[in-house]
Amino acid sequence: MWRFITQLLKRFSNLNFSRFFLTISLLSALIPAYALDSIWYSDKDLKEGNIQLIPDGYIDPSASDPCSQKTYDKPLSLVDVTEAALCHNPQTKEVYASAKVQAAQVGVARALFFPSVTDTVSTSENKTRTTNYSNVTNKIVASYLLYDFGSRDATLENANQLLKAASATQNATVQNVLLSAVNAFYQVHANKAILNASIETEYFYKESFKSAEAKYIAGVATPADKLQAQTSFANATLSKIKNEGILKIAYGNLANVMGVTANSNLRIVDSQIDVIPEIVDQDIQALIEQARLQRPDLVASEAQVAASLAKIEIAKADSKPTVSLNLSNTRSDDSNASFTNNSAVGLNVSIPLFGGYKPTYLIRSAEATAELNASQRDQLKLQVSLDVWTAYQNLKTANESITASNVLVMSAEESSRVALGRYKEGVGNIIDTLNAQSALANAKQQKIQSVLNWNIARTTLAQSIGVLDNAMIQKLPEAKR
């Protein structure tokens, strides 16, 4: 590079100022291009290759290009929904970018272990009444930090721990997105079942109204019977209309989690409401201990504590002397003088004598930050145990509720059938019939809600432990493509 610049400058050394400045402009355009191709520049971070948009374990590895754009023109399984959410939800892209930022900071910290080299080229052209001469000077300076009482090592440790925290935060966010996708999927299932149940309820009330109207026309029922049956029928129709709107909103929420517009035309596969609940009999203490080891947000908090401890060492080391090795070489070519070439090597010791007690306060600030991060970690540990305990109890309650709701629906169906039959035969009254049908509608709502709570409780417990991943999703019956 030196030879190229020298030859180019000598070539234009006798030209006027306008051409000289043109030369300088050309050099300013060439030097950055040269720097981009040099060994000192790299656009690849040393640890960026370990970071992925979707970390391993959250998407089926056998799937071919799961993050490609899809039309969603067929009913979606649970796996289809979760893959779309992980690939297209902006939250996953946000934490991915954040992790890449911290990976770059690791590269910045590693740069402290390399020497710094600076090359300065200067040129001048001078004109007087009697003389016309030019000067070209090139000065290259290299500096290397020999010893800094561990500041570089602590800076690298701090960056590595923050990268670990960012990676764990990415996993925590991915699991939260998975949980939101699963919950939205099952909410659509529940709303579909509620709508179907409301359609059936509307039909039963319609039959009661027809029977009451026929008996009124025949003169064996009062106008009150007909009006009560008609009111119940109209109320059932209104409930059906409301449930249709609620289902559309649930589809909009599902589309939002999947990273597509709310008005997207989505469909999901049908699911059975009649589920057999699993037996929940696990050691809650073992689950809590497992969560303390695997919860990614707790891993991130531990890494934040370690990073703050490294920050204390940085503050302490920065208040101590540093030892550096400096080398320089200066070459000067003057048209009126001889060519000079000077080299120098030296040892530089920088001793901070007084900085207004700034180092003391920096150390105190770093120590207080470490205490703050440790307190937040301890609080998170307590929250983790509460999350596991709550999710576990919700799952047990949901299991028992499914069993109870199945019995409730069976008895309510039989009661409604008998009451309507008695009324049609003339041995029952309209009030008993409508009450029985209302009890059946409520029983079906209870069953649907119990199944929804059970589906949500399963995935919430997995997320509270830190094991909500592709393997867990694949175990769910709705996961089949």
CA 194 to chain centre: 32
Q: What is the DSSP string of 349-381?
A: EE-----TTHHHHHHHHHHHHHHHHHHHHHHHH
Residue pair 470/59 in contact (Cβ under 8 Å)? The answer is: yes
Q: What does residue 136 show for φ and ψ, rounded to 5 degrees?
A: -125, 125
Answer for the pair 83, 59: CB distance below 8 angstroms, yes or no.
yes
So what's the pLDDT on residue 26?
Answer: 41
Q: Show the low-confidence residues of the chain (pLDDT under 70).
A: 1-49, 129, 272-280, 335-337, 477-481
The pLDDT of residue 419: 85
Q: Which of 335, 60, 342, 343 is nearest to 178 (CA)?
A: 60
Q: What is the dihedral of CA 40, 41, 46, 50, to 10 degrees?
A: -160
- CA–CA gap between residue 277 and residue 162 (Å, rounded): 42
442: Cα within 13 Å, side-chain hemisphere = 10
What are the pLDDT digits (tens) for 360-390?
Answer: 999 999 999 999 999 999 999 999 999 999 9
pLDDT value at residue 243:
92
Q: Please give the pLDDT value at position 250.
A: 95
Partners of residue 117 on adjacent β-strands = 142
What pLDDT does residue 171 have? 93
Compute and round to an integer the Cα radius of gyration of the chain: 37
